[in-house]
A and B are shown apart, each in its own frame.
Chain A
Amino acid sequence: MNPAFQGLLTIAIGVGGCLSYFYFSNQFLDKVLFPARGPNAGKNINRANLVRPWLFLLPAIFALGLYLAYPVVETIRLSLTERQTLSDGTTIYNFVGLANYAQMSADPKFWEALINNMLWLIVVPAMSTAFGLLAAQLTDRIAWGNIAKSLIFMPMAISFVGAAVIWKLVYDARPPGSEQIGVLNAVYVWLTGNDPQQWLTTPFWNSFLLMIVLIWIQTGFAMVILSAALRGIPEETIEAAIVDGANPFQIFFKIKMPQIAGTIVVVWTTITLVVLKIFDIVFAMTNGQWGTQVLANYMFNQLFVARDWGVGSASAMVIMLLVTPILYWNVRNARKEMR
């Protein structure tokens, strides 16, 4: 079957199926199970209203349970087992305790990935938030600020893979003596007169060059959120500061910053989540070679190159562990807001 046709059919079945499920289940509830007539009409309406939320929620709960909650449990289990194919072709999973974790911690590539991820976690959210704050503060003051914002925000729409190609061209290196077509080397040769560098294969610094790609993408996000927060600051507090003779820098750091601290934390944690899962950029630009490995790419290699599901699951659990504090913090905040 032609995939495009299959796609249309899926939309029809998916959307039509969902809608008719909701429609008919509601009809069934109101007309057959608890009809709002007869001696028990009042009671039946109440009963129907008790059941109805679950009708509305059922498909979502099913999908969430199967596609997000179950995998968490299953990954924990897989990380404690070893996959073994028997002679008759069936696959069994032997419980091996923490052996996968032990094997992983003996792998220098894992530690390289973990250390790099920590570097990413420090550099990317900090730089993106700082640039975003700078851009938000500056663009709010000028007439063409909205156009400027739109252009800084644009990389958000570009895929990580597309961004990887864009920046690979920037970092491109040609042999010494020939015309440099990568901007970075062109500027470097022009400024220092040294030979051009193979930036992406130079360990340690190449990780930062990959981080720049993500900073470039995430700055726009930080800018949009922080700009809204800056506009929400009550005008009186700033006017009072001006009357008291504060200079623009004091106004920014002493008056505005404390008032948007909450938003800065939200932006920071959101970018942190993106960083923890970062895969495409590293995969497309260096594939973890030359000391640029990160956890998500390490895990991908374990799963689909080494085909070791146990260690792969164990490294996924490490990512989950790193996410957990943010998960806890988000849930706590959400509950606080609900009250």
Chain B
Amino acid sequence: MDNIAGTKSSLTWAVHISVAALVALWLFPTVGLFVSSFRTADQIATSGWWKALFPTEQSLTLRTADPDTQMSVDGVYVIEGNLFTGEDLSDEIDMSAWGTSSRDIGAYAPGDTAELRDGERITVQANGDYRLESPVEMEGSRGQRIFVTAELPPDFTLENYQQVLFSGNATDSMAKAFFNTLTVTIPATIIPIVVAAFAAYALAWMDFPGRALLIAVIVGLLVVPLQLALIPLLKLHLGIGIGKGYLGTWLAHTGFGLPLAIYLLRNYMVGLPRDIIENARVDGATEFQIFTKIILPLSFPALASFAIFQFLWTWNDLLVAKVFLIDATGQTTVMTNQIVELLGTRGGNWEILATAAFVSIAVPLLVFFAMQKYLVRGLLAGSVK
């Protein structure tokens, strides 16, 4: 429908700009989290993440060398050196101002000389070189404090990922939760597909009394809120001895995923060409053979669509895991639950939170971008759940 907008170029520009604005608005929050996960706690706390991408003016608190490094030159005691020595900074620093008091951190320009108490004088150059002179021997165990204002280049770190994935720290660790999530997700994705595929075939290609009613029931079950199932099923699981654990979680996810699976697959299978199936029947194939040799391969797009839905849903789920999986020991925690707990214990530590959250959303995002085609197709086929 380009021809409509194409007649008015001003409108086309308006469209381009509005789409760009919309995309920016939608992307902005996620990018914020992503950028924050590569910054240190100090950086996150002192400046907004959007400033992290550009050189920023920052104030640093540094010290001169210790008094015991002073040398006596022509009757004057001198300490010389570079303020940035030992700091983890790149070498292209160009300070714009410095000071010796926390009340006025930008009192002097580079190259100026400041008078300190006891007749001490200090000169600091733009590159951080300093010269501290004193008529008498300097005392104390630590060097003179210098406040420096400088433009610093963007600086990123992988330390947060190290901390979250490999530190082994029980409260921060996502590694265990990552594998637990994977353990929940894979069986919970595969089993409903198998069960649903057979049922969908029967509903699509076999004639039997009650078929229409059964389909209606499945459409109805599609919208039953899973909140209703929590207590009765927990009661059931505890009653028959499954208790809280992976088995119960897999079963629950299978049950909750089935209506959508059957609905999607049936709708797809109904559309397969009748000739192929009837020819196979005439040639003496059994229904089981027709299903495994013809229907299943042909239904691959629908199977893939549902697999993505179910994968995203089980990976991102919090409620089912909280009710059916996570027991008092916390050994079986999943990533979503781990993040909620981090929100409680580490509410202000954005470097840990952002990194943990990004670890958990990275896999679904990969799946999303790799298999978007099937996801869209599935959505169009069964936009009910």
Q: A residues engaging B (CB < 8 A)?
A: 3-4, 6-7, 10-11, 14-15, 18-19, 22-23, 26, 30, 49-50, 52-54, 56-57, 59-61, 63-64, 66-72, 74-75, 78, 131, 134-135, 138-142, 144-145, 148, 150-162, 164-170, 172, 179-183, 186, 216, 219-221, 224-225, 228, 235, 238, 242, 248, 251, 266-267, 270, 273, 276-277, 279-280, 283-284, 296, 299-300, 303-304, 309, 312-313, 316-317, 319-320, 323, 326-327, 330-331, 334-335, 338
B220 & A270 in contact (Cβ 8 Å cutoff):
no
Task: Decide yes or no whether B276 CB sits under 8 A from chain A.
Answer: no
CA distance A313 to B199 in the complex (A): 31
Task: Please judge, given known A-B contacts A10-B250, A266-B383, whether A60 and B195 are in contact too, CB under 8 Å.
Answer: yes
For A328, the closest partner residue in chain B by CB is B220
A327 & B220 in contact (Cβ 8 Å cutoff):
yes
B224 & A323 in contact (Cβ 8 Å cutoff):
yes
CA distance A54 to B207 in the complex (A): 11
Cβ–Cβ < 8 Å partners of A277 in chain B: 225-227
Task: Decide yes or no whether B93 CB sits under 8 A from chain A.
Answer: no
CA distance A319 to B29 in the complex (A): 31
Task: Decide yes or no whether B108 CB sits under 8 A from chain A.
Answer: no
Cβ–Cβ < 8 Å partners of B233 in chain A: 67, 71
27 examples of A-B residue contacts, CB within 8 angstroms? A7-B186, A10-B246, A11-B186, A53-B208, A59-B198, A61-B214, A63-B254, A67-B252, A68-B221, A69-B221, A70-B232, A71-B233, A141-B1, A141-B12, A148-B20, A150-B369, A150-B372, A154-B368, A156-B368, A161-B339, A162-B357, A170-B32, A181-B45, A248-B4, A270-B384, A330-B223, A338-B215
B39 to chain A minimum Cβ distance, whole angstroms, is 10
Residue from A23, A30, A61 having most chain B Cβ neighbours under 10 A: A61
For B315, the closest partner residue in chain A by CB is A159
Residue from B50, B228, B339, B368 having most chain A Cβ neighbours under 10 A: B228
CA distance A164 to B256 in the complex (A): 24
Task: Decide yes or no whether B304 CB sits under 8 A from chain A.
Answer: no
CA distance A95 to B259 in the complex (A): 32
B196 & A14 in contact (Cβ 8 Å cutoff):
no
B22 & A138 in contact (Cβ 8 Å cutoff):
yes
B368 & A64 in contact (Cβ 8 Å cutoff):
no
Task: Please judge, given known A-B contacts A26-B286, A53-B202, A224-B379, whether A159 and B316 are in contact too, CB under 8 Å.
Answer: yes
A320 & B225 in contact (Cβ 8 Å cutoff):
yes
A169 & B354 in contact (Cβ 8 Å cutoff):
yes
Task: Please judge, given known A-B contacts A10-B187, A57-B214, A283-B340, whether A331 and B380 are in contact too, CB under 8 Å.
Answer: no
For A312, the closest partner residue in chain B by CB is B231
A7 & B350 in contact (Cβ 8 Å cutoff):
no
- Per-position contact with A for B352-375: 1 when CB-CB < 8 Å, else 0? 011011001100110111001001
For A74, the closest partner residue in chain B by CB is B232
A235 to chain B minimum Cβ distance, whole angstroms, is 8
- Partner of A68 from the list B27, B259, B383 (CB cut-off 8 Å) is B259
Task: Please judge, given known A-B contacts A14-B187, A23-B288, A219-B26, whether A181 and B1 are in contact too, CB under 8 Å.
Answer: no
- Per-position contact with A for B170-209: 1 when CB-CB < 8 Å, else 0? 0000000001101100110011001110110111001010
| Binding site secondary structure of chain B | helix
A154 & B365 in contact (Cβ 8 Å cutoff):
yes
A24 to chain B minimum Cβ distance, whole angstroms, is 10
Task: Decide yes or no whether B103 CB sits under 8 A from chain A.
Answer: no
Q: Top 3 closest A-B pairs, CB basis?
A: A67-B255, A159-B316, A60-B199
- Partner of B30 from the list A68, A154, A164, A335 (CB cut-off 8 Å) is A154
Size band of the B side of the interface? 35 or more
Task: Decide yes or no whether B312 CB sits under 8 A from chain A.
Answer: yes
Task: Decide yes or no whether B107 CB sits under 8 A from chain A.
Answer: no
Task: Please judge, given known A-B contacts A6-B246, A30-B286, A141-B12, whether A162 and B49 are in contact too, CB under 8 Å.
Answer: no
CA distance A222 to B35 in the complex (A): 28
A14 & B194 in contact (Cβ 8 Å cutoff):
yes
Cβ–Cβ < 8 Å partners of B226 in chain A: 277
Cβ–Cβ < 8 Å partners of A327 in chain B: 220, 223-224
Cβ–Cβ < 8 Å partners of B315 in chain A: 159
For B185, the closest partner residue in chain A by CB is A7
A50 & B1 in contact (Cβ 8 Å cutoff):
no
B258 & A60 in contact (Cβ 8 Å cutoff):
yes
B364 & A159 in contact (Cβ 8 Å cutoff):
yes
Task: Decide yes or no whether B343 CB sits under 8 A from chain A.
Answer: yes
Cβ–Cβ < 8 Å partners of A161 in chain B: 316, 318, 336, 339-340, 357, 360
Cβ–Cβ < 8 Å partners of B201 in chain A: 56
A109 to chain B minimum Cβ distance, whole angstroms, is 17
A142 & B332 in contact (Cβ 8 Å cutoff):
no
Cβ–Cβ < 8 Å partners of B202 in chain A: 52-53, 56-57
Task: Please judge, given known A-B contacts A160-B316, A335-B216, whether A141 and B246 are in contact too, CB under 8 Å.
Answer: no
B229 & A68 in contact (Cβ 8 Å cutoff):
yes
Cβ–Cβ < 8 Å partners of B186 in chain A: 7, 11
B206 & A138 in contact (Cβ 8 Å cutoff):
no
12 further A-B contacts with Cβ under 8 Å, apart from A141-B2, A142-B12, A242-B4, are A10-B191, A67-B258, A72-B224, A72-B228, A142-B16, A155-B26, A158-B361, A158-B365, A162-B316, A172-B350, A221-B383, A304-B323
A270 to chain B minimum Cβ distance, whole angstroms, is 5
For B382, the closest partner residue in chain A by CB is A270
B177 to chain A minimum Cβ distance, whole angstroms, is 12
CA distance A30 to B285 in the complex (A): 12
CA distance A144 to B262 in the complex (A): 35
Cβ–Cβ < 8 Å partners of A71 in chain B: 228-233
A50 & B208 in contact (Cβ 8 Å cutoff):
yes
CA distance A237 to B16 in the complex (A): 25
B47 to chain A minimum Cβ distance, whole angstroms, is 6
B224 & A276 in contact (Cβ 8 Å cutoff):
no
For B254, the closest partner residue in chain A by CB is A63
Cβ–Cβ < 8 Å partners of A166 in chain B: 29-30, 32-33, 357
